[in-house]
Amino acid sequence: MSTPGAYFRLVRIGWVLTREGVFAAIPAEHLPPSARFAKKVAGLLARRKARFEERSGRLARAVERLGPSYVKIGQFLATRPDVVGAELAADLSQLQDRMATFPQSAAKAAIEGSLGRSVDTLFAEFHEPMAAASIAQVHPAVVLREGRREKVAVKVIRPGIRQRFAADIEAMYLVSRMQERFLPYTRRLKPVEVTRTLEQTTKVEMDLRLEAAAISELAENTKEDSGFRVPKVDWERTGRDVVTMEWIDGIKMSDIEGLRVAGYDLNRLAETLIQSFLRHTLRDGFFHADMHQGNLFVDEAGHIVAVDMGIVGRLGKKERRFLAEILYGFIMRDYQRVADVHFEAGYVPSHHDAASFAQAIRAIGEPIHGQPAETISMAKLLTLLFEVTELFDMQTRPELVMLQKTMVVVEGVARTLNPRFNMWRASEPVVGSWIRDNLGPKRIVTDLHDGLHAALRVAEAVPEIAARTERFSKDIMAMSEKGLRFDAATAEAIGKAEARHARSGRIALWVIAAALVYMAWRLV
């Protein structure tokens, strides 16, 4: 159940969005009369300055006003255009994860509390923060290793952010539950499940040990790859609230002129970036899901170095095969195969007609084959594919949406390096190799191997399955003879839950009324 605080926070969100002109910027067409009236009222309550600002940036500015945890929520929703729509997702993608720094003394206290050692014993030097984001901030520091001074980057969690996020996510749950209740057509998007994913993702991001583990895993996966690497983690100086890693001296990939002056081959960098991302996705099923230009550097050796791995994505074998077969089907113009893959994977409900779905896929693929290869966007292809699947009741697949969003970002970085970059030619060595290994004869051997392992696990579990089946059968027989009964404790718990529900509803009404009175007083 939502607490009164969640309703207060929801009212505050609505007030900030109103004052920043977000509601007033919503297009009036297709809105019912009551919503149009509310839009006009919201326009009157908007700040005078906000009325003349560009519509596209209002939501991002409002979210930044709400604070760090809402910036993180906004950045997450920017990766879910299937939930908030392409226009709002584009607006939220403008969010700048640059916050005011917190005091160095608070950072030192967080480090000492997490590692149980003083900062002076851990670091030879510990400097003022150089950058701060919604979750953490980064300090340059120096450590002594075997008599050598080594520069490191120390990322420290923002004090109180976990408690603040826990309170703010409750308001998100309230919104998602209201959305499912009052907008039934949005249930396909699973808003409550999306909020749960956001909660879990952010909890993981707030445990810096898990970010360090992600960096370590990607480093292990890419140790034999050329042209791409991640920083080394200093595990001795890493805990829940702090992660210490190698300091990267390099040129940001956003500095195109700097890369050009330094003599780097921009086309080669773009090719390495795309191939590395596809290799991580298809080969490893584990990829950096926040590969924007600010998180990518080019070091002196010409290697692309990816940092800030708080957000990562994973794809299972089925999803990787799904992705590869889609790309292969579009390349070969085998639209029926692309459609069949969707049905085989269970992504499109079986009551739909596969031929009709293949026809819709053809509407995406044929225009692409009439274009020069360098103008074809793989990310746009996946975006159009998800738009078509919406017509056929395809359920939201968060892992695929995250992949699509990351591919949009990575492809955008590659195109800034070379606007005429040929995505398909660069992708072919990785995609082609994966298809040959996993969709050809090798696939049969792999499937047999996996099937044998699965059969052995089932055989090992047979005694336990039999015992559980026997217990379940006895319970069913007892229910058929004596009926289903609640014990006294269960009945009492149900009564208390109903009472809490009624009480919370009354409290919520009083909270909303009080908030409206407060806003009216502010206006006067």
- The span from the CA of 240 to the CA of 209, in Å, is 5
Q: Are 345 and 325 in contact (CB under 8 A)?
A: no
Between the two ends of the chain, the Cα-to-Cα distance in Å is: 34
Q: What is the largest CA-CA distance in the chain?
A: 84
Q: Which amino acid is at 61?
A: R
Cβ neighbours of residue 280 closer than 8 Å, sequence gap 6 or more: 218, 221, 222, 286, 287, 288
Write b or e for each residue in 221-236: b if 16 or more Cβ atoms lie within 10 A of its Cβ, otherwise e: bbeeeebbbbbebbee
Q: Indicate the burial class of 332 (C-beta count within 10 angstroms; 0-12, 13-18, 19 or more).
A: exposed
Q: In the annotation, is 290 catalytic?
A: yes
Determine which helix (DSSP H) or strand (DSSP E) holds 333, and give its type and residue range.
none
Judged by DSSP in three states, 430 sits in helix
Distances (CA, A) of 382 to 137, 325, 409, 441: 34, 13, 13, 27
- Cβ pair 86, 384 in contact under 8 A: no
The Cα angle at residue 511 between residues 509 and 516, in degrees rounded to 5: 95
42: left (phi over 0), alpha (psi -120 to 50) or beta: alpha
CB 377 within 8 A of CB 423: yes
- Three-state SS annotation for 439-462: CCHHHHHHHHHHHHHHHHHHHHHH
Choose, from 82, 97, 234, 290, the residue flagged as catalytic: 290
Whole-angstrom distance, CA of residue 94 vs CA of residue 89: 9
As annotated, the active-site residues are 290
